[in-house]
Amino acid sequence: MEISDLLTVESVVPKLSVTSKKQALQELAKRAQAVTGLEERRIFDTLLERERLGTTGVGNGIAIPHGKIAELDGLYGVFARLDKPIDFDSVDEQPVDLVFLLLAPESAGADHLKALARVSRLLRDQTVCAKLRGSDNADALFSLLTENSTSNVAA
């Protein structure tokens, strides 16, 4: 499972302007609608439902909201670099500025977990995160996210 299997340049948002966790999830749902073809509201409701179970703000300025939707035909990702950090109820209580949304079909099982692990491993790399925070160009962000995906396979 590679990041390039989840993302396209079109699903990378270089400067997302939001002021709250709810607004961030709404904007991400809107972007995910464009790549999945599913209704924005369906995606948003799935993300909210998941957040009620516990925050997806994993710490160090990173959030990985995710959910499963039966109608999906594969795994999809949307990456956003926020123009200003926001409160995301993160486990370390720090604001979030890098968000990787992951959507999977209900039947994904292990593939969903592998994708979550892959994204988590990539975003735990402080060097990668520093580079992501230093760019506001979708092509550059996409390259950073996907080039590291092959060099860190054994990580």
Q: Which residue among 21, 66, 112, 118 is the active-site one?
A: 66
In a domain, 90, yes or no: yes
* pLDDT at res. 1: 78
Q: How far apart are CA 88 and CA 103, in angstroms?
A: 19
In a domain, 155, yes or no: no
- Does pLDDT of 154 surpass 60? no
In a domain, 42, yes or no: yes
Is 112 annotated in the active site? Answer: no
Domain ranges, residue 143: 3-150
pLDDT in tens, 83-139: 999 999 999 999 999 999 999 999 888 898 999 999 999 999 999 999 999 999 999
- For residue 132, give Cα distances in angstroms to 22, 63, 148: 23, 14, 12
* pLDDT at res. 148: 54
Task: Judge whether 23 and 153 are in contact, CB under 8 Å.
Answer: no
* pLDDT at res. 152: 42
* pLDDT at res. 90: 94
CATH, residue 122: 3.40.930.10
